[in-house]
Amino acid sequence: MGFCDVRDPAKETRWLPGFLLSMAWLAGFSYLMCYSADRITESFGIPSALMGVTVCAVGTSFPNFYASLIMAKAGRSSMAIANALGSNIQNIFIALALPWVVRTMVPSPHLFFVGSAGIFANVLAMAVTLLVLLVLVARGRMALDRTAGYVLIGT
């Protein structure tokens, strides 16, 4: 994206418009993906939860996984980890929280229902994964080896 290439001093102040345009682009395609997934579930009778945890999850996570894999193979492990953590932070705080905040701020006669079935198990799984990561990082003195990578992929 040449619009906000920070290597060019004349363009380095364009990071904020570039970021906002990227978020708008991401929001538009996210809406299109969700809309398409809804139409597919209605047309073929596929449960929406199944569509969400398979097709949609893989479709959104695979590009990040592939980019991190390329960076790790190139010896840029810190960039691979930053990509993985950054995309998850963005998903939680922008992709999930922002729409909920906007939706709850808009007055509506309809109730806003958030399903919470199974949330404890999911939070527990994330906490265990975080604990495993912390143990691996502490064990390796802030460096992850191949064994740690296999353990993290397995969790």
The rounded mean pLDDT for the chain is 83
Residues 40, 73, single domain; the answer is: yes
Ranges 16-20, 25-29, 73-77, 84-88, most confident: 73-77
pLDDT for 43: 94
Residues 9, 54, single domain; the answer is: yes
| Locus of tokens 């810190």 | 78
Q: Provide the residue range defining the domain that includes 55.
A: 2-112
Phi-psi region of 106 (alpha: psi -120 to 50; beta: other; left: phi over 0): beta
Number of domains the chain contains: 2
| Locus of tokens 């970021």 | 19
In degrees, rounded to 5, the angle at the alpha carbon of residue 139 between the alpha carbons of residues 134 and 140 is 100
DSSP label at 56? Answer: I
Give me the mean pLDDT over the 64-87 stretch: 87
pTM of structure: 0.57
What is the three-class DSSP state of 99?
helix
The number of beta carbons lying within 10 Å of the beta carbon of residue 68 is 20
Residues 79, 119, single domain; the answer is: no
Residues 90, 139, single domain; the answer is: no
pLDDT tens-digit map of 89-100: 887 777 777 777
pLDDT for 70: 92
pLDDT tens-digit map of 21-69: 888 887 788 788 888 989 999 999 988 888 888 888 887 788 888 888 8
Residues 82, 128, single domain; the answer is: no
Give me the mean pLDDT over the 105-121 stretch: 78
Residues 99, 153, single domain; the answer is: no
Residues 107, 119, single domain; the answer is: no
CB of 64 closer than 8 Å to CB of 83: yes
Residues 9, 83, single domain; the answer is: yes
pLDDT for 53: 81
| Locus of tokens 């193979």 | 73
Q: Assess whether pLDDT exceeds 80 at residue 116.
A: no
In degrees, rounded to 5, the angle at the alpha carbon of residue 146 between the alpha carbons of residues 145 and 147 is 90
